[in-house]
Amino acid sequence: WYQRRVRGIWVLFVFGFTAFLTEYWYSGFYKCCFALLALYVTPKYTRLSGFYLRVNERDDLRILAISLCSLAMFAANLGLLASLESNVCPYATKLPSFPCSEIVYFSFALYVFEAVGFFGFFVLATLLWSNFKFQIGNYIEPVLVEIRDIKYIFAAAKSKNVKEQRSAGLDLANLAASSVDNKFALVAEGGLQVLIDLALSEDEGVRGYAIEAISELLTIKSIQNEFVEIGGVNTLMFALHSADTHIVRESLLAICQLCQDNEDVMVLVLGENGMDDLCHVINTCRMDCVRLVAGIFLDVSFSDNLRGELLKHRKYVPVFERMIRCSDTITQQLCLQTLEMIALTSPDAITAHTDFIAPLLSSISKASDIQVKTISAKLLLYFVDNAQTMSEVLNCSVDIREVLIKLVTTQDNIMQCVAAKILFLLVENDRELLYDDRIMDLVQTLRIKRGRSGSLDVGRQDTYHE
């Protein structure tokens, strides 16, 4: 239909050029201008999106303009017909020796045909302008979310037929996503238990729709409490082992919503094999899922009673190492902030795991984000300040001297202060480092950089003069 309308616009150019052959030949100029205007403001059309214009364009005003111009052209053609009737044709009626020429008949027929065409353009453009008043979704959404009665959906969900269960899961997901009232109506009819049963189905499609519906419902705080009471957290943790990444991601989103400022839910999430389930996601899933797990860990780290569970077993350390070494900056930040929260209240919980030293040194050296470098350097301080882990730092595969060069040469004041503290602790615990030329060069560089601002805080300055 859109292609036919575009061809109709090209007919306007035919009208314009043909008008030069009529009695009032000058009418061809403004008719060609109208054709150009119509071609410029014509909206595009697709089967899915309907009519649309380019971004940031006032579609309603543009269509209204072409509608008014069409009306003006219609009126102009009526004026031409009236002028033709009153100024030319009377001579033919009064003076038979002056009959109307072929040009007059041709002009009369063309003006009538054009008047009908311009009026059609006016009607069509007016309808389009009226249609463009609808905003996205407010006209078709009520039609799209029409679903069957809830009791019939529940009956299909309880059926043993996988096809009916999948259809019921889709209807429940649409119902949960449509409005807040539908969410409460679904829960009031016992929909949470139905969705939990569907989420335990053997079919991936059924589980996907059920988890998606649960994630939508849990955006309401009161629904979260009821979901937790009927044991829904275990269902979400079970879904983390799905082979479908979409199911895992929706489950993690639901868990994130439950864990926000709710320590009781955190206990359920970490209970039994909860940490193993979350670590499984980190080891097997995509980075967007790993980022969600890192956010859950950060929420848990704010709990005084549960913070220690994150590093309770040594088998969880490689998981944090992987997040520190990952390429996603947000995941690195969340992981390092979690470790920093643990270190602030229990430094021994961090220094007991020397496996963190190499990833921290590597992130300081290679990371591009200043926050990642700063938190990594602060965590490294705990290992440098511990006499038992100092040797591990010096003997690490990543040379700390190279890392200190990166810290010292940066323009960030906090990074320089951290580097100064690390240098002081290194020299204070191992005086032989005073004979290391690179260490002393770093000290001197820090003196120059920090001395310019009068804020040198490297430590005991007499130590460096020995």
Rounded to an integer, what distance in angstroms lies between the CA atom of residue 129 and that of residue 64? 6
> Rounded mean pLDDT of 252-273?
84
Q: Which residues of 239-255 are buried (b: 16+ CB within 10 A; e: fewer)?
A: bbebeeeebbbbbbbbb
Residue 465 has a pLDDT of 36
Which ranges of 240-328 would DSSP assign to H, the alpha helix?
Answer: 245-259, 263-270, 274-284, 287-301, 317-325
* Mean pLDDT in residue range 389-406: 76
308-318 burial: b if 16+ Cβ within 10 Å, else e: ebbbeeeebbe
CB-CB contact of 257 with 218 (8 Å): yes
- pLDDT score recorded for residue 438: 64
**102-131 vs 2-19: helix axis angle to the nearest 10?**
150
Query: What's the whole-number mean pLDDT along residues 53-65?
Result: 63
| Residue, of 297 and 17, whose pLDDT is higher | 297
Bigger pLDDT: 98 or 439? 439
pLDDT at residue 402 tops 60: yes
**pLDDT tens digits along 331-387:** 999 999 999 998 888 888 888 888 888 888 888 888 888 888 888 888 888 888 887
Residue 411 DSSP one-character state: S
Please report the pLDDT score of residue 367 as a whole number. Answer: 81
Cβ-contact 464, 423 below 8 angstroms: no
Residues in the chain: 466
51 strand-pairing partners: 45
CB 398 within 8 A of CB 362: yes
CA–CA gap between residue 39 and residue 52 (Å, rounded): 14
**Is residue 91 very low, low, confident or very high in pLDDT (cuts 50, 70, 90)?**
very low
pLDDT band at 459 (very low <50, low <70, confident <90, very high): very low
Share of the chain above pLDDT 90, in %: 2
Spatial CA neighbour of 210 closest among 159, 160, 269, 170: 170
Tokens describing residue 404: 């200190």
Highest mean pLDDT among 92-106, 141-155, 374-388: 374-388
Which has more pLDDT, 363 or 433? 363
Contacts 24+ apart (CB under 8 A), 17-22: 18/110, 19/110, 19/114, 21/103, 21/106, 22/103, 22/106, 22/107, 22/110, 22/111
**What does each C-alpha distance from 53 to 20, 34, 46, 176, 387 come to in angstroms?**
33, 19, 11, 32, 69
Rounded to the nearest integer, the mean pLDDT of the chain is 77
Least-confidence region, from 25-34, 148-157, 401-410, 446-455: 446-455
- Across the range 423-449, mean pLDDT stands at 64
pLDDT band at 101 (very low <50, low <70, confident <90, very high): low
